[in-house]
Amino acid sequence: MCGIVGYTGTHSVAEILTEGLARLEYRGYDSSGVALEHANGSGLDVVRRVGKVSELVDELQNKRLLGAAAGTGEGAAAAGDAKAATCSTCGIGHTRWATHGRPTEENAHPHTSCDGRIAIVHNGIIENFAELREELEGRGHVFKSDTDTEVIAHLVEEAYLGRCANDAAATDAEAPARAAGTHDLVAALRLACERVTGAYGIAAVCEDEPGVIAVARKDSPIVVGTCERGSYVASDAIAIMDATRDVVVLEDGQFARLTPEGIEFTDASGAVIQPEMTHIDWDMDAAEKSGYPDFMLKEIYEQPRVVRDTLTGRLAGGALAIDELGLTLEELNLIDRVYVIACGTSYHAGLIAKNLVEAWARIPCEVEAASEFRYRDPIITPSTLVVAVSQSGETADTLAAIRDARIKGAKVFGITNVVGSPVARESDGVIYTKANKEIAVASTKSFIGQVVSLTLLAMLLAQVKGRLRQAQVRLLFRELGDTAEQIQRIFDTQEPAIHEAALACEHASSALFVGRGMGAAISYEGALKLKEISYLHAEAYAAGEMKHGPIALITPGFPVIAVATKSPTYDKLVSNLKECEARGATIIAIATEGDEDIRAIADHVIYVPPVRDAMSPITATVPLQLLAREVALLRGCDVDRPRNLAKSVTVE
């Protein structure tokens, strides 16, 4: 949820770190910080700021550690391109999403050892930090923050020195077992990791080992890469892919020692290993706004491409081809129960899948929040298929649920956007949504990629079970592909209507989203999008439930946003809306082009092209994304980085 970047080489590190942190800011942005080795290798400068990376940049400039003042002869925009003369060339940086301890400067990373000679940055969570802290304080360590992370700095210090730096009296004679110390940063980090339980990606520097960065990983992503300018580490390749696209994605229990000359890899026993390289082939454009005012709009506008790319190669010789499934057609045919497990927006994609799997394949399908699934005792047999949906492929609850399901004997199929992510690696098979990197915290294009992938999966199950003939599959496939153009038509024609509808929500204190069938599933996603980026409270209900309670909320002007596309339950929905209209609600309808009757009850109508009900989640969700963004902008919110949220939720 936080971001790590580190560099050691021949170029100015401050620019490289701040540029990398800005790219990682979508993962966490409560505070940020860097530890820079002094240019002459004689100490560390640790600078931390609450707030966005831009605050850190200002502070580094004030302290003359960044830009021309740092002696590079070039400004921050050069991002380290200048050969370092008098500036630091080794350091680590971090952008934080607070878990333990408030977002303050003291709690921002890097954290340091007692004497400040060792600095570390950490992603993840140290579960036994309270016991470790008590133990370390008992031996004289002085803590400066409320974080779980700081124990690692002190554990590394003790392993490195053989004692606490505060404890000048400790001698070999007093503590022979510990007193020798490793005086080797990677070895000390390895010993520290042996003491902690939890998840971590760690980068550490020590002023006694200039030019060295020690790196460790367990259950929290870390990539490292090297080029002629030096060696890089990051929690996400996006931070370093300008320098190199050939990276090593560390596995759990692996360590790396970065120097300007290259990287040495070791395993948990200290033995040297040679991990495989991965080539990053995303378009760098994904990391840039490319002329759009924000990433969210850019990513919404990419959705026609996502539909096309996710479908590419999926129909071969008239039949569906999902070779990565990890299951034979015979095994698929035996599936008699499906669970979709996911969180947030991905969970809503699951609600859509339930409708499709049950309607087409006639297999019972349950959708469950991964955070609940992992602590229940769900009925799982060898013929159960668990479909884990996760944009990031890192969500802690989804991963834990996958592990649990596999232990209980289920086949697990992952749907994720991130190649090589933990969800992909821990599932029996995987479909990659072709959304490309998603930066805005609110998921948009990845949701569309998930819905397209889940629609394909439902079609495949139905085909294997003999419920859909090949000709029907081909027709559905074509209609699925047609949604790309239909989304584009929404962009081209509905902007004014969406803006008008947003004005009706701007000053509201709450909003209700309603729909029936597929419309209800779409409503949940619409409500989540609105609340997470505009901070306008929103709830979604199956419209038939309104009169069982929520209708009590309706007062004149209360916004009710209805997914009112043509469907088998359209007339029922209209009746539900009339009840809201009678109580003065302002009704915003997402309706099918040509439906003029809806204007009789709706104050605002946003039209989407006519599609069969099964495809409506793709077309009807798009205007809800745009509406949420428009309301958020009217309310002065940062649509890419909503408060309190992080892009990937790697803690429970």
Instruction: List the catalytic residues.
Output: 2, 647
Q: Is 621 in the site for ligand M6R (CB under 6 A)?
A: no
3-state secondary structure of 185: helix
Least separation in angstroms between residue 541's CB and ligand M6R is: 19
3-state secondary structure of 326: coil
Q: Which stretch binds ligand M6R (CB under 6 A): 153-161, 190-198, 200-208, 340-348?
A: 340-348
Residue closer to ligand M6R, measured from CB, 402 or 561:
402
Q: CA angle, 108 as apex, 103 and 114 as ends, to 5°?
A: 135
Closest CA to 166 of 145, 137, 138, 140: 140
Q: Is 645 in the site for ligand M6R (CB under 6 A)?
A: yes
Least separation in angstroms between residue 635's CB and ligand M6R is: 17
Please, are residues 79 and 57 in contact by the beta-carbon 8 Å criterion? no
Closest CA to 595 of 625, 614, 571: 571
Least separation in angstroms between residue 643's CB and ligand M6R is: 12
Dihedral (CA of 312, 316, 319, 320) sign: negative
| Pairwise CA distance, residues 486 & 611, whole Å | 9
- Site track for ligand M6R across 123-162, x = CB under 6 A: ----------------------------------------
Q: Which stretch binds ligand M6R (CB under 6 A): 59-67, 74-82, 464-472, 644-652?
A: 644-652
DSSP lists the bridge partners of residue 47 as 34
Residue closer to ligand M6R, measured from CB, 119 or 343:
343
Please report, for residues 344, 350, 398, the alpha-carbon distance to residue 347 in angstroms, rounded to integers and kept in the order given.
Answer: 5, 5, 10
Closest CA to 147 of 204, 195, 96, 187: 96
| Pairwise CA distance, residues 195 & 155, whole Å | 8
Q: Is 170 in the site for ligand M6R (CB under 6 A)?
A: no
Q: Which stretch binds ligand M6R (CB under 6 A): 61-69, 341-349, 539-547, 613-621?
A: 341-349
Per-residue DSSP letter, 621: H
Residue closer to ligand M6R, measured from CB, 113 or 398:
398
3-state secondary structure of 419: coil
Q: Is 648 in the site for ligand M6R (CB under 6 A)?
A: yes
What's the maximum distance between 2 C-alpha atoms anywhere in the chain? Answer: 90
Dihedral (CA of 154, 155, 161, 167) sign: positive
Q: Count CB-CB contacts under 10 A for residue 290.
A: 12
Residue closer to ligand M6R, measured from CB, 61 or 433:
433
Least separation in angstroms between residue 116's CB and ligand M6R is: 36
Residue nearest to ligand M6R according to CB distances in the complex: 344
Binders in 510-539 for ligand M6R, by CB under 6 A = 532
Q: Is 433 in the site for ligand M6R (CB under 6 A)?
A: no
Residue closer to ligand M6R, measured from CB, 519 or 526:
526
Binders in 391-420 for ligand M6R, by CB under 6 A = 391-392, 395, 398
Choose, by CB under 6 A, the member of 153, 338, 441, 460 that binds ligand M6R: 441
3-state secondary structure of 367: strand
DSSP 448-511: HHHHHHHHHHHHHHHHHTTSS-HHHHHHHHHHHHHHHHHHHHHHHH-HHHHHHHHHHHTT-SEE
Q: Which stretch binds ligand M6R (CB under 6 A): 258-266, 301-309, 319-327, 390-398?
A: 390-398
Least separation in angstroms between residue 237's CB and ligand M6R is: 16
- Site track for ligand M6R across 442-461, x = CB under 6 A: xx------------------
The backbone torsions φ and ψ at residue 139, rounded to the nearest 5 degrees and listed phi first, read -100, 15
Q: Which stretch binds ligand M6R (CB under 6 A): 16-24, 131-139, 297-305, 437-445?
A: 437-445
Residue closer to ligand M6R, measured from CB, 61 or 392:
392
Q: Is 390 in the site for ligand M6R (CB under 6 A)?
A: yes
Choose, by CB under 6 A, the member of 303, 346, 486, 534 that binds ligand M6R: 346
DSSP lists the bridge partners of residue 255 as 216, 266
DSSP 69-108: GGTTSS-GGGTT-SBPSSS--EEEEEEE--SSS-S-TTTS
Q: Is 343 in the site for ligand M6R (CB under 6 A)?
A: yes
Residue closer to ligand M6R, measured from CB, 344 or 617:
344
**Residues at the contact surface with ligand M6R, assessed by CB under 6 A:** 343-346, 390-392, 395, 398, 441-443, 532, 645, 648-649
